[in-house]
Structure 1
């Protein structure tokens, strides 16, 4: 992310969102599904832990805001290189660690094969007919799809000049799909379940730029995000064996989260130490990539020895430490290499274009 996009409030929101997702997996999902083994579940799922999955939607809203900033002053190629530099090196490192843990704890029963690992290197394993190395990766695909649409809109000149209209059209299609059409193709390609969240973040930035109509579309995105979240939660009841996801609670949590996000983008907090908060915010990405299956393996091994609470403390501390190491030791140097490679490709392309013909 560009320096201009750093907001201490957003980094705090990232930490809270990823903690909520971990709470969902450790305090609800594994209790219902038994994915961490019989000692760690099934058990009595937590009442509030069930709503932690909404942290992913908060990440989508943050992404809408941050991507809007990161495209400013960039061409599509530079934007793409920046996204690859930010996401791919840490993803490969985290995915490899997950594969090694899966290999070390085969009793969990998670799929693992060389074709699966190689397909996951692309970050788009299902398109190659292979399962994700970790169930949490589905949201990374949604992010990549969002980036792809942004890059395409940048390429045709619509993103910078007509972002408010783009968001409005996206919300209209998403609403129509959810209310009338119900197309699986639209849901997957246009992310209609989460359009309101991405658009909300986009319009927060558009409001900061003073674009006409941005406030009205921001309100529409707010309403659509709440409605879509309630509809999505209704489909989770069957997935989680009849466990309820009360609509009022889901809608209320989403509404509060988006309002807090809007406030966080304006937070002036000199009392926050910029360095540690920034690193913590960036470390939420590898934490998210590692916490689910690696965490389940930890519970499987540790619960019989130190109990559920002790296992949770050790796992959270361990995953947080590894995430910080990946952020400092992998992301930054690898990102420099990727950006350098991108610049080399650009210069070669320019040189080729300038070469005389004949």
Structure 2
């Protein structure tokens, strides 16, 4: 999920990915589940949650009753870097979508994405709208018309108010899925097409930036493209660590990506900024994200096989959807209503959102996702 951020997005579990060959040094056959990638996804989601609960001003201050800087005087500056969890999400998404699209038909690819995104999203939109409509909740609900538009996931291009603050990242993800589907999956994914796709998209993002053309920005997404591209390159490295083109794609993605991250999130010139992120700190977090996914791609974390990480990966998406606005409601009840200390409120709120995410996964995603997939790929 970017500063919008920041409200961050969201990437998909590896479980939803189609089998694909592992690195060249691994025996042929379907690779084992990358449990470390599941864990990294939850870490990125918790980074974003830390940002929303204690690393920004604005609406969250109403939940706490004062600025989070007063609630967490020693930590709020670190929490402010949590918005970069979105960029890490996008790197992971590039890796996983390349894996998922490899060897799939367009119908199967589209059905997989729809089944993954929509069930939890629909329920989250309804749930947040209903909670915000309660008289005791301090936040305003969107209009009924805008709430209905939000169910399409196209509220941003239609100019409707967003129900979920983090859904802007889903709009970014959907555009990436469309680009990858049209350019790679439709003609048939192979290494050559993936390399050409990345080699074309990266310089196109720079040209789009220079052209300052809104429609071009909408399609090419210059500020987010490098992170997806870097993730795709890391998947190619996962298939063959000796692939020089793949390493070049990763390097280009990082160099472009850190530039955009610093440009968008470095706020030293703003005297009213909630917390001043340093350019070094931003580059460091982006680098750590690339390094973490790179370690997984190279198999350095293959021994991380704890089954609980699979659960963590499954909870990441529903947690990401509900944690922000519903988390503010929980903070208000615990801290201002019941007088629970700030640190305990922070932990209990994150735990409550993880519990809600488990319910969404167990009773919404698990039963509905397979049905949606079957309906969309059924031969007619």
Instruction: Give the TM-score normalised by structure 2.
Output: 0.83
The yes-or-no answer on 1:272 pairing with 2:297 is no
Tell me, yes or no, if the aligned pair for 1:150 and 1:159 is still in contact at 8 Å: no
SS in 2 for 1:37: helix
2:331 maps to 1:299: yes
CA contact (8 A) 2:90 2:227 kept: yes
What residue is the counterpart of 1:9 in the other structure? 36
Q: Which moved more, 1:185-194 or 1:100-109?
A: 100-109
CA distance in 2: counterparts of 1:203 and 1:301, whole angstroms:
45
Partner deviation per Cα, 1:47-71 (whole Å, 9 max, x = no partner): 1111000001101000000000101
Q: Who is 2:355 aligned against?
A: 321
Q: CA deviation at 1:268?
A: 4.3
Unpaired runs of 5+ in structure 2? 1-15, 21-32
CA distance in 2, matches of 1:240, 1:4: 49
- Select the residue among 267, 275, 290 that pairs with 2:322: 290
Q: Which residue is 1:250 aligned to?
A: 282
**Candidates 40, 43, 50, aligned match of 2:65:** 40
TM-score normalised by the chain length of structure 1: 0.88
Query: CA deviation digits over 1:67-99, x for unaligned, max 9?
Result: 001011111111000001111011111222211
The answer to whether 1:339 aligns with 2:373 is yes
Alignment of 1:1-358 (within 5 A): 1-2=16-17, 4=19, 6-29=33-56, 32-37=57-62, 39-44=64-69, 46-104=76-134, 107-154=137-184, 157=187, 159-160=189-190, 161-178=192-209, 180-210=210-240, 213-234=245-266, 241=273, 243-265=275-297, 266-270=299-303, 272-274=305-307, 276-304=308-336, 305=338, 306-344=340-378, 347-348=379-380
Q: Distance in 2 between matches of 1:171 and 1:332?
A: 36
* Per-residue deviation, 1:104: 2.1
User: In angstroms, what is the RMSD of aligned CA positions?
Assistant: 2.3
Gap change, CA 1:252 and 1:96, over 3 Å in 2:
same
Report deviation, 1:216: 1.5
Higher helix share: 1
What's 1:352 paired with? none
Of 195-204 and 34-43, deviating more is 34-43
Question: What displacement does 1:18 show?
Answer: 0.6
Quote the Cα distance in structure 2 between the aligned partners of 1:343 and 1:156: 15
- CA shift, 1:235, in A, is 6.4
Relative to structure 2, which stretch is displaced further, 305-314 or 144-153? 305-314
Does structure 2 retain, via aligned residues, the 8 Å contact 1:11–1:278? yes
